[in-house]
């Protein structure tokens, strides 16, 4: 299964040990994210460390384990779809437009997010962690 992963999934995995973290580190999926993802995570690195009780070294180790399985895609790859994505969900959350644009630009099975309300549209399937766990229960 090929999924576009929203940053909130990575944040959840960084903040606590969970099924989300397990799915990212031992991912049975092929995962993609727009290049804005790394910048957004780095922007909140200190807050994540504070909330989770990590040292900077702890954060780097976990961050690298998680990111290792995510293909980061340059803006140029999804640039042609940004306008279309903005029309579909830009009014809901401008920050999620690159994720939908990427989903529109490459072959995939949907977007993995916990903010399903930000992706209300009818062109790309949206999955929550619970949806994925229920669909693939017993396979991880």
For residues 51-78, give the mean pLDDT.
Answer: 96
- The residue with greater pLDDT, 58 or 137, is 58
Per-residue model confidence (pLDDT) at position 137: 73
Output the pLDDT for position 139.
62
Q: What is the CATH number of domain 2-136?
A: 3.40.50.1010
* 68 DSSP 8-state letter: T
Q: Residue 140: pLDDT above 60?
A: no
Residue 64 neighbours by CB distance under 10 Å:
9
Domain boundaries, the chain: 2-136
Residue corresponding to tokens 């490459």? 106
Buried b (16+ CB within 10 A) or exposed e, 76-89: eebeebbeebeebb
CB neighbours of 80 closer than 8 A, spacing ≥ 6?
Answer: 105
Query: For position 28, what pLDDT does the model report?
Result: 86
pLDDT score of 138 more than 80: no
Is pLDDT at 41 greater than 80 in this prediction?
A: yes
Q: Spell out the residues 6+ positions from residue 88 whose beta carbon is closer than 8 angstroms to its own.
A: 100, 121, 123
The answer to whether 25 touches 61, Cβ cutoff 8 Å, is: no
Strands of the sheet with 2-5, listed across from one edge: 70-73, 30-34, 2-5, 111-112, 126-127
- Joined together, the tokens standing for residue 33 give 């994210």
């Amino acid at each position: 299964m090929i999924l576009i992963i929203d940053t909130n999934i990575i944040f959840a995995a960084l903040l606590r040990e969970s099924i989300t973290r397990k799915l990212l580190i031992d991912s049975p999926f092929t995962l993609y994210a727009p290049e804005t993802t790394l910048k957004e995570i780095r922007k909140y690195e200190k807050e994540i460390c504070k909330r989770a009780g990590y040292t900077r070294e702890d954060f780097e180790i976990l961050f690298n384990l998680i990111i290792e399985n995510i293909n980061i895609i340059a803006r140029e790859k999804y640039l042609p779809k940004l306008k279309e994505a903005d029309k579909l969900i830009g009014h809901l959350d401008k920050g999620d437009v690159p994720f939908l644009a990427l989903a529109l630009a490459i072959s995939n099975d949907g977007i993995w997010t916990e903010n399903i309300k930000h992706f209300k549209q009818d062109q790309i399937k949206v999955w929550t962690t619970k949806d994925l766990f229920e669909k693939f229960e017993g396979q991880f």
